[in-house]
Structure 1
Amino acid sequence: MHKQIDTDLQNTTTLNPTLFRRLLLLAIFCFSTIWAVDSNSAMIATFDAHAYPLCIAAFVFVYLLSLLSKMSQERLFLFTYFIVASYLLSSSIWHHAGEGGLYSNAAQWLGLNYVIAYLFLEVRRAATITIIVFVFTVLGHYLALIQHHNVSDSISVVMNIAVAQFAYIVLLWTVVKLRIKALQVVEKVNILEDLAYIDLVTRILNRRGIENIFQKLQLDENHDQSNYAILLIDIDHFKQVNDQHGHLVGDAVLTSVAAKLRRIIHNTDVIGRWGGEEFLVLTLDRTTEQTLALAEKIRAEIESFELPPCSGVTVSIGIAFSSQASSTTEVFTVADKNLYVAKNSGRNNVLHSFPTLKKSSASDKPSAL
């Protein structure tokens, strides 16, 4: 699990399309502003005079592609990174190629190549590309400097550039690794939290998980607008199953019944193991007739279900509707009372209290199907 999480995190980028387009607009603004300022001050270099408008046009093109085309985000990110890295690297090399190249400060911007790589690209690809860019940076600047300066001076400048770039890479990789570890911790916490809501025998929600769903659905807060029913399902004579066949067989019966219930209910319904041999099904937005039909289907299919070495496994079901009480606790109480009556009325049956237009108490007279 740890290796899978690590792989998933290293193969993803957190840059979403909206943020990506905003960064493109920022790049267009920055390049346009610098171009305008340098042009008005007559300080613009020949290289930049041609490079600025080309970069701006390229950014606009990528922005339009992100809106109009079906090109993958990964390719758009890579294309954008190529634009930025090409400009920064070629600009620095060009400025170092002149006779005053030893004193050029153009290399100060090269660190952005590594920052943007880890911003735009997934981690593994960014790591590979930063190594390639680093090699091109060192070789490119050395070849540019050696044209007008001796080997010693050229190597001295290149070593300064190389050490600075290497520091950028190491620091960025450290930050990325720390981020990955932090995300791994969060992911593990989420997994453990999910496991805390799952019954380990039946692999469905446990009591805590059901209560969590109740809270998320805000059934009590919106009770007057809610339309739901609670079905409490109890396996008849389950103690005899454990006594006669052992707890492993008992667990197998619980697992089989849970699996059967999952196949019967609708995907909008909620199912969980309430405790022991008792299950709870929460149905949402069903009519009374649909809920009663579901309960009878559950009872009938469990009765006909073959669960060797056990035979004749049946369930009793108590039902309550949201229109019968003012809270989920009260609705549950109605369902629990109906289940009690069902268990003491021969078992293998379904009991309910028909909902009325007005809220009624949990003492509604149960009716059997």
Structure 2
Amino acid sequence: MQSLPSHNRHLNTSSVSPRLFRRLLIMAILGFSAIWAIDFSSGLISPFDASAYPICILAFALMYILNTVTKLNHQSLHFITYFIVAGYLTSSSMWHHSAPNGQFSNAAQWLGLNYVIAYLFLEVKKAAPTTIVVFTVTIIGHFAVLIQQQSFNDTMGVVLNIAIAHIIYIFLLWTVIRLRIKTDKAAARADVLENYAYIDLLTRILNRRGLEKVFTELNLDAEEQKQSYAILVVDIDHFKQVNDIHGHLIGDKVLSHIAAKLSRVIHPNDVLGRWGGEEFIVLTLNRTPQQVITLAENLRAGISLLKIDDIAGITISIGIAYSSEANTNSDVFTLADQRLFAAKQAGRNTIRSHD
């Protein structure tokens, strides 16, 4: 845990998770099955729907299986599922508008779902051109069907009504999506600013404020979830000499390389941060004292092998304290800091703990 968790927001992706997608597929299967059963039992089912319903149900079932057992791109499955629905709704409306299948049928009233589903299932960057294609096919298809049996004026009246209604659908949905994108972008910027507040920009690890936040969030002092932990205070030996001899730019480079090395050595669940200056903090959870000492030795040995430009022989001193030695993490830190001082007094490049 070397940085604070952030909220992942994908501004150009669908908001439908794999689990929600499966639920929607189940709802589609049940919905189509119910309508099929009702139309069949009432004797109102059309020849088109008698064939289309089972095909759609089987297609939804296949999408469910593919979403569950394969590693196919979920956006591709969303896209295919969308065209199953859009294809059925558009072709059904066109069929019902053709003679002698029930001209001016109310099947067209469902066509608005084509645009709602597009912005629900698809990425925003794909939903916009997709709705334009579906809109174009819908208008041209209905015109081609109606002109065969109606006058030009009657055909244009129906087609224009459909077109106006669908343009309103698309405009309103696009407006909602734009508002959502703006909201997501604002939230993403807030996340970035929050991240900057808790991350040390030089070393790209937690800063002092970030460490304090993580300590608070872990609630280390809570009696009901008391957990074992150790705090390691790590300090670069003679770092002032590096700045004095080589300059602060090289000193910054040394800090960055040491932070990167510490990050590679600790466990992913450990917390690493820069407390200030040349001092770093490692919080490690649920390790035995021997494991903590081993970690500290690995940190010390790893740093001693570093060569940064012409600088070699860099060493660190480490003070260690354990949760069993104090009642609060603040007291544990103070104890670790005292032991760091003892390590410095003992000649540096060494480790001090309770044993």
Normalising by the smaller structure, the TM-score range is 0.7 to 0.9
Letter in 2 for 1:258: A
| Shift, 1:137, TM fit | 0.8
Q: Is the 8 A contact 1:229 1:284 kept in 2?
A: yes
Is residue 2:281 matched to residue 1:267?
Answer: no
Letter in 2 for 1:128: P
Q: Distance in 1 between matches of 2:165 and 2:182?
A: 26
Q: Please report how far the alpha carbon of residue 183 of structure 1 lies from its aligned counterpart in structure 2 after TM superposition.
A: 1.6
1:281 is paired with a residue whose SS is: strand
Aligned length: 347
2:217 maps to which residue? 216
Query: Is the contact made by 1:223 and 1:322 (CA closer than 8 Å) also made in structure 2?
Result: no
Q: In structure 1, what is the equivalent of residue 23 of structure 2?
A: 22
What is the aligned partner in structure 1 of residue 74 from structure 2? 73
Shift of 1:320: 0.8
Structure 1 residues not aligned, in runs of 5+: 1-6, 355-369
Structure 2 unmatched runs, 5+: 1-8
Give 1:208-357 correspondences, 5 Å limit: 208-221=209-222, 225-303=226-304, 305-307=306-308, 313-354=314-355
Question: Is 1:162 aligned to 2:149, yes or no?
Answer: no
Q: Residues 197 and 70 (structure 1 numbering): CA distance in 2 closer, same or farther, change over 3 Å?
A: closer
Residue 161 of structure 1: how far off its partner (Å): 0.9
What do the CA deviations read for 1:327-367 (whole angstroms, capped 9, x no partner)?
2111111111112233334434322223xxxxxxxxxxxxx
C-alpha displacement of 1:102? 6.7
Distance in structure 1 (CA, Å) of the matches to 2:171 and 2:92 = 24
Code of the residue aligned with 2:80 in structure 1: it is F
- After TM superposition, the structure 1 = structure 2 runs for residues 28-177 of structure 1, keeping only pairs within 5 Å, are 28-68=29-69, 71-98=72-99, 103-177=104-178
Displacement of 1:271: 1.7
Is the Cα contact below 8 Å between 2:96 and 2:104 reproduced in 1?
no
Tell me the distance in 2 between the aligned counterparts of 1:308 and 1:52: 71
How far does residue 303 in structure 1 lie from its aligned partner after superposition? 4.7
Amino acid across the alignment from 1:58: A
Alignment deviations for residues 19-58 of structure 1 (CA, whole Å, 9 cap, x no partner)? 2222222223323333343444444444334433443343
2:272 counterpart SS class: strand
**C-alpha offsets along residues 275-327 of structure 1, whole Å, 9 cap, x if unaligned?**
12211122233332332233344445545544566676443322111221122
Q: Identity percentage over the alignment?
A: 55
The answer to whether the 8 Å contact 1:223/1:326 transfers is no
Q: Distance in 2 between matches of 1:196 and 1:334?
A: 27
Structure of higher CA gyration radius: 1
Where does residue 194 of structure 2 map in the other structure? 193
1:9 matched residue in structure 2: 11
What SS does structure 2 have at the residue aligned with 1:220? Answer: coil
Give the counterpart letter for 1:80 in structure 2.
Answer: T
What residue in structure 1 maps to residue 5 of structure 2?
none
1:98-154 CA-to-partner distances (Å, cap 9, x unmatched) read 379774332211111111122222223322221121111111111111112111221
Secondary structure (helix, strand or coil) at the match of 2:230 reads strand
- Alpha-carbon separation, structure 2, partners of 1:224 and 1:164: 58
Once the two structures are superposed, residues 186-232 of structure 1 have per-residue CA deviations (whole angstroms, 9 ceiling, x without a partner) of 22222222222211122221111212222333322268752322111
Match of 2:97, as an amino acid? H
Quick check: 2:96–2:103 contact (8 Å CA) kept in 1? no
Q: Say if 1:97 and 1:144, in contact at 8 Å, map to a contact too.
A: yes
Deviations 1:46-72 (A, max 9, x none): 433443344334333433444455554
Q: When the two structures are superposed, what TM-score results if normalisation uses the length of structure 1?
A: 0.82
CA distance in 1, matches of 2:304, 2:51: 82
Question: Any conservation in 2 of the 1:202–1:255 contact (CA below 8 Å)?
Answer: yes
Counterpart-to-counterpart distance in 2, 1:312 and 1:77? 57
In 1: Cα distance, 2:65 partner to 2:223 partner: 45
Q: Are 2:273 and 2:280, in contact at CA under 8 Å, matched by a contact in 1?
A: yes
Partners of 1:102 and 1:154 within 8 A in 2: no
SS at match of 2:149: coil
Structure 1 residues 211 and 151: CA distance shift in structure 2, 3 A = same
Distance 2:42 2:308 in 1: 88
Q: Does structure 2 conserve the Cα–Cα contact (< 8 Å) formed by 1:339 and 1:351? A: yes
